[in-house]
Amino acid sequence: MALILMAGVAGHASGESSGHAEQYHPDAELGELFTQVQTTKVLGDYKTFVDAIPNSSPEAILQKYHQQKDTADFDLKQFVLANFTLPEKAQAATVSHESELKTHLDNHWGNLVRDPQKTSNYSSLVALPHPYVVPGGRFREMFYWDSYFTIVGLLESDEDALARGMIDNFAYMIDEFGFVPNGNRSYFLSRSQPPLFAASLLAYADKHGMDSVVSYLPQLEAEYGYWMDGNEEIPNQATQGRHLIVLENGDYLNRYAGAKEEPRAEAYGKELRWASALPEAQRGDYHRHLRAVCESGWDFSSRWFKDGVNKSTTHAMDIIPVDLTSLLFQLEHTLGLLFEHAGNTEKSKHYFAVAERRKSLLHKYHFDEKTGTYQDYDFKLKQHTGRLSMAMAYPLYVGAATDTAAKRVSDYLAQHFLMPGGFVSTLVETGEQWDYPNGWAPLQYIGVKGLLNYQQSDVAHEAMSRWLALNEKVYKAEGKMMEKYNVVDTTLKAGGGEYPTQDGFGWTNGVDLAFYRLLGKPQASAK
């Protein structure tokens, strides 16, 4: 059965691209020097070195390193500083003195815009054809799922040309790599992020009509091929592909997946350290699980931990995530809509049919009657993971929930997830950034839009009001926007995770602008 869905899917199904042959990969090209820098952490943030640009060819620098490394006065940090141009330090977000947060948000986009780059031959940055908005802080590139929520905000601010350019950048990357990478860096080219290209097209079409996005059909169908990467040569294999999983009774759904059995270049030292606590035979799979978590965007969270507490038990590749099932339903349904608009009845019927199939499986495998929630599914144990999270709102966001299920989810969110500052990510405190007590803008948006889709407006409006009140409070005190917020104790800053809290911040700005409109609050014009 898994082969039926693959009919008519265009594009690159493998998703294993490592990018252009000429793209600079610091982990592959700098050998021992890369390992030494990233395990000794001489530059502080692991991301600094992989974003640095060699001042000459990697081969020449590596040769120089081997000649000098054993000399008495060799200093690794000084060697790096002499042979690489480091990225500019993350600038603290511009502190605004505008009294109204709404005005600040509309006027702040320019601080986060990056122009198309002509990159050095030895830069890990993948050049894009159009300007784009970066998240902020240490993030100097265009991230996939961040960009959807940013596009929502740009459209609210009437920055439509910039929003269109970011959509064009998505299409460009799909043409180049067969999928939208995690971000436009060489070290992101082995994984994607939550597939929100379809959602971006729908957001743009809401304002400009379906005619404005129908030209992206080839790229949207190619992205679908990346996620439906079935291995047609081995029909009886339990896992038909990297992302495509065949379940009992011939059902098939999808997972996030890592392609490489090694630490991520941008987190090399710490992931090597984490893996060292495991038996050597388990380390390769562990690194794939970690990469799968990063593809999910929820890096890191108790959602992915077998014991619900410890990162050492990460098993993300064993999980069918409810948010991915929902977003692939949205992708299939959007393909149906666009092919219908283009007059291709055969393909339109095909994609509407597979979307309906997935909607049925969403309820079958993800809905838990006992709690009235949508949950992730462990396909190895053949049961729900039991890790409740804001991902339960995704079926409502894409319109795939039943009315009864949507009401039960709404009640559960109102009772358990709605905190003084908005929706909390999970109910478990692990110290990870995608867990309690943190709230994130994208999950507020998914939750609110999902609730509004099913006329649960009281909970939605209360969530928006609490989130905006918290954001306004922090803005008044700090003069800037943050990546994430402590929604449980609104007097404290959010914490946890792989790096210090970042400010800026693209998706927070975008979601807040959408909430101001949904609540009927006036906004200043960006023009």
List, by residue number, the catalytic residues. Answer: 299, 483
Distance CA(462)–CA(422), nearest Å, equals 8
DSSP of 238-275, one letter per residue? SS-BSSEEE-GGG-EEE------SS--GGGHHHHHHHH
Identify the CA nearest to 388 among candidates 411, 419, 422, 416: 416
Report whether 116 contacts 127 (CB < 8 A). yes
User: Residue 490: phi, psi to the nearest 5?
Assistant: -75, 5
Q: How far is CA 330 from CA 181, 297, 394, 440, in A?
A: 19, 18, 10, 22
DSSP of 266-333, one letter per residue? GGHHHHHHHHHTS-HHHHHHHHHHHHHHHHHT--S-GGGBTTSS-GGGB-GGGEE-HHHHHHHHHHHH
Report whether 391 contacts 434 (CB < 8 A). no
Report whether 24 contacts 58 (CB < 8 A). yes
Amino acid identity of 227? W
Strands 132-133 vs 113-114: parallel, antiparallel or unpaired: antiparallel
Give the CA diameter of the chain. 73
Report whether 317 contacts 258 (CB < 8 A). yes
The label of the residue with tokens 């396909």 reads: 379
State which H helix or E strand residue 134 sits in.
none
Amino acid identity of 328? L
Distance CA(299)–CA(374), nearest Å, equals 20
